Structure 1
Amino acid sequence: MTTHRAALLQAKTTRFTMSPVPTPTPGPGELLIQVKALAINPVDTAQRDKGFPPIPSYPAVIGSDVSGIVVSTGPDVPDSAPQPGSRVTAMASSFYTGKMQYGAFQEFVLAGWNGVIPLPESLSFEDAAVFPLASLAALSGFTTIGIPLDARFTTEDKRAVLLWGGASSVGTMAIQFARQMGLVVYTTASAKNHEYLKSLGAHRTFDYHNADVVSQIVDAVKEDGVTLTDAQTFAWNSLQSVLDVLKETKGDKLGKVGHAPPLLPDAPSMEGVEVKFVLPPMEPAAREQHKNQVFHGWLKPGLENGTVVPSPQVQLVEGGLEGLNAALDIIKDGVSATKLVVKV
């Protein structure tokens, strides 16, 4: 096979069109994956409709989350990595290179081996597609606020974290990882999602629609006798509420907030609280080490032993690659506790 189909963005702010593209050969440290399912993220809509985050050149293939079957491996791929024929989930993104052969929205894609992990037989391709970007973003959120990925807390530590927007795809993964770290997890979501988030590991859930949600969280922290200085938020227009909580709970310590949406110039701030946009390390060597920790240190063993489960629930969008425009339109209108997935 010399070509395959891809969903191309021909220019900035255009919609996807189907086109044949060359099927690449994996280079050093790379795997070629036949895509069976892919997941949609809000950033995909921003890139299609606004060209942000910036796309270096067009035509372009975007997307990050795939599951599928390894077709071939390039040089310098370790024997411990998935081999041809393996069922896998993979971080397949053209974000850093700008080259279309690394974008998820196509039938065959290249991915670096340290962002590819094997799937348990019990896990479908559709469920497996939800993991890569959400896991990377959730765990990068912890390192952004100074909680290393090898951190483990005991009940006696009484260390809490606030996760605002827990029903989002990143939020549900952050809840699972925070629970494994031993953190006491406070999260916000619509009331209809509270029991689901508790099943993932949230200790307390709060409805962000309530006018007194800040005081509810503050009262719970005092009642539980925990230390709350750290937060992540996955929702727009939530930063002021997060800051208001930390003002009352951090004491004389430095508060830290990992902000998953891009920080706008007029974003609120507060003395004694550090707010940072959530990003993995940008220096290439550190970035690859971090990715290895996320996928091989956390996600792989989590899937093997069942401590990490697909979240949130999957909603299939019909039409294969041709259904991508409709899928991005749906997520642009907003979804709740739902991950949109397309079968390829």
Structure 2
Amino acid sequence: MSNQAENLAALVPAAKAELVVEKRPIPTPGPDEVLVRNHFIGLNPLDWKRQLSGMFISSYPAILGTDSSGIVESVGSNVTKFKPGDRVLGGADGMISQKPENASYQTYTIFRATSTSKLPSNISLEQAATLTTATITSYLMLFHVLGLPKPELKTPPPNATVLIWGGASTVGNLAIQFAKAAGLNVYAIASKKNHEYLRSLGAKLLFDYHSDTVVEDAVAAAEREGKPIAYVADTITSVATLGSVQDILSKSTATVKNVAHTAPWPEDFKKLDGINADMVHGEEVWYKPDMIELGSKVFNEDLPKWLESGVIVPPPYRVVEGGVGKIQDALKVLQAGVSNQKVVVGV
């Protein structure tokens, strides 16, 4: 390692405070871990929500961030699937482990080998930084929470429609692609300006959430096809979206009515009888034994193949240059709202 190498980290110094940049030691990976020199850091809405609320922060100062891509610097003694110099993406488990070195808002990050993917030559580091959280969240929404048939199993899909609410989010982008790969009948709800792009990913029919008749239009289209809406992945998860989702399912003739959502069900918001709703927990791939195994298969084996073959295409992104010192500015961009874009910071 060069004597000039240093680890700059964007820290949350106190509750609700803005990020400050400090120099930290370059960490050493444990037996089952890899140390990555980050080149691009992907931001998620949960990041600014954690900063403002203190969610999943046990003490301060704290380092946030889950997604990044870069070059492997060193590996632990048990790691055989990665070596120094490999181009990778990773999902940092600092939110669960509470280890500051296991967070992505810094130059060097420790990742579990089970949450790391080697990149094929057709995927850039910029593109890779968009993928980690979106990949595992969308995969689990469809194939774990909703119980739909996984693409790799070649199982005949149900005679029903899966609806992706929030198709232009990064999770929505990936969910559409996974659903298409599984042979599912895919509808998506998104702003009209994004319909053409989402159709190219595999959404058969698209509906504009601004429309006063979006609920009725989606239900009627599925009924005409003889494939009623039975499964919904709500990637936004607000009172407004869940209200519309429940309205859709209550009007559908499907016998199964399942919803997967990305955030906790709002307090004092009633779940309708006959509708099964469950939250996706992507963080389980870091601490539940069966989910660790599933996550390892997705990240170590499947994702590189999906990317190389084009089954999965990385979502659109916007790069904010300037290093970790620009993460706070980039979080404000994300908080203000972006459409069909992942915000990525160049390190």
**With structure 2 as the length reference, what TM-score do the two structures score?**
0.93
On the 8 A contact 1:93/1:104 being kept in 2, the answer is: no
On the 8 A contact 2:167/2:198 being kept in 1, the answer is: yes
Offset at residue 287 of structure 1 (A): 2.6
AA at the equivalent of 1:31 = V
Choose which of 47, 50, 63 in structure 2 pairs with 1:47.
50
Offset at residue 114 of structure 1 (A): 1.6
Offset at residue 148 of structure 1 (A): 5.4
Q: Are residues 1:322 and 2:325 paired?
A: yes
In the alignment, what sits opposite 2:212? 211
Offset at residue 172 of structure 1 (A): 0.3
On the 8 A contact 1:168/1:336 being kept in 2, the answer is: yes
- Aligned-residue Cα RMSD (Å) equals 1.7
In the alignment, what sits opposite 1:335? 338
In 1, the alpha carbon distance for the partners of 2:172 and 2:8 equals 32
In the alignment, what sits opposite 1:306? 310
Offset at residue 296 of structure 1 (A): 3.2
In 2, the alpha carbon distance for the partners of 1:319 and 1:84 equals 25
Q: Are residues 1:68 and 2:36 paired?
A: no
Choose which of 287, 293, 296 in structure 2 pairs with 1:289.
293
Choose which of 266, 269, 272 in structure 1 pairs with 2:271.
269
**With structure 1 as the length reference, what TM-score do the two structures score?**
0.94
AA at the equivalent of 1:19 = E
In 2, the alpha carbon distance for the partners of 1:297 and 1:183 equals 23
In the alignment, what sits opposite 2:60? 58
On the 8 A contact 1:88/1:117 being kept in 2, the answer is: yes
Task: Quickly say closer, same or farther: Cα 1:276–1:40, change in 2 above 3 A.
Answer: same
On the 8 A contact 2:36/2:70 being kept in 1, the answer is: yes
Mapping of 1:195-274 within 5 angstroms? 195-235=196-236, 236=238, 237-251=240-254, 253-274=255-276
On the 8 A contact 1:153/1:159 being kept in 2, the answer is: no
On the 8 A contact 1:239/1:268 being kept in 2, the answer is: no
3-state SS of the aligned residue for 1:5? strand
In 2, the alpha carbon distance for the partners of 1:126 and 1:173 equals 17
3-state SS of the aligned residue for 2:63? coil
AA at the equivalent of 1:169 = T
In 2, the alpha carbon distance for the partners of 1:175 and 1:294 equals 17
In 2, the alpha carbon distance for the partners of 1:162 and 1:297 equals 27
In the alignment, what sits opposite 1:190? 191
In 1, the alpha carbon distance for the partners of 2:6 and 2:209 equals 48
3-state SS of the aligned residue for 2:218? helix
3-state SS of the aligned residue for 2:220? helix
In 1, the alpha carbon distance for the partners of 2:321 and 2:244 equals 38
3-state SS of the aligned residue for 2:215? helix
Offset at residue 227 of structure 1 (A): 4.0
In the alignment, what sits opposite 1:114? 114
On the 8 A contact 1:240/1:268 being kept in 2, the answer is: no
AA at the equivalent of 2:139 = L
AA at the equivalent of 1:75 = S
In 1, the alpha carbon distance for the partners of 2:168 and 2:47 equals 19
In the alignment, what sits opposite 2:29? 26
In 1, the alpha carbon distance for the partners of 2:180 and 2:291 equals 24
In 1, the alpha carbon distance for the partners of 2:90 and 2:154 equals 26
Offset at residue 209 of structure 1 (A): 0.6
3-state SS of the aligned residue for 1:95? helix
3-state SS of the aligned residue for 1:105? coil
Figure out how many residues of one structure are paired with residues of the other and give that number: 338
Aligned-pair identity in percent equals 35
Q: Structure 1 unaligned runs (5+)?
A: none
Instruction: String of CA shifts for 1:292-328, please: whole Å, max 9, x gaps.
Output: 13323532210121211111x1111132211111111
In the alignment, what sits opposite 1:278? 280
Offset at residue 127 of structure 1 (A): 1.1
In the alignment, what sits opposite 1:173? 174
3-state SS of the aligned residue for 2:127? helix
Offset at residue 229 of structure 1 (A): 1.3
In the alignment, what sits opposite 2:131? 131
Task: Quickly say closer, same or farther: Cα 1:229–1:83, change in 2 above 3 A.
Answer: same
On the 8 A contact 1:145/1:230 being kept in 2, the answer is: yes
Offset at residue 109 of structure 1 (A): 0.5
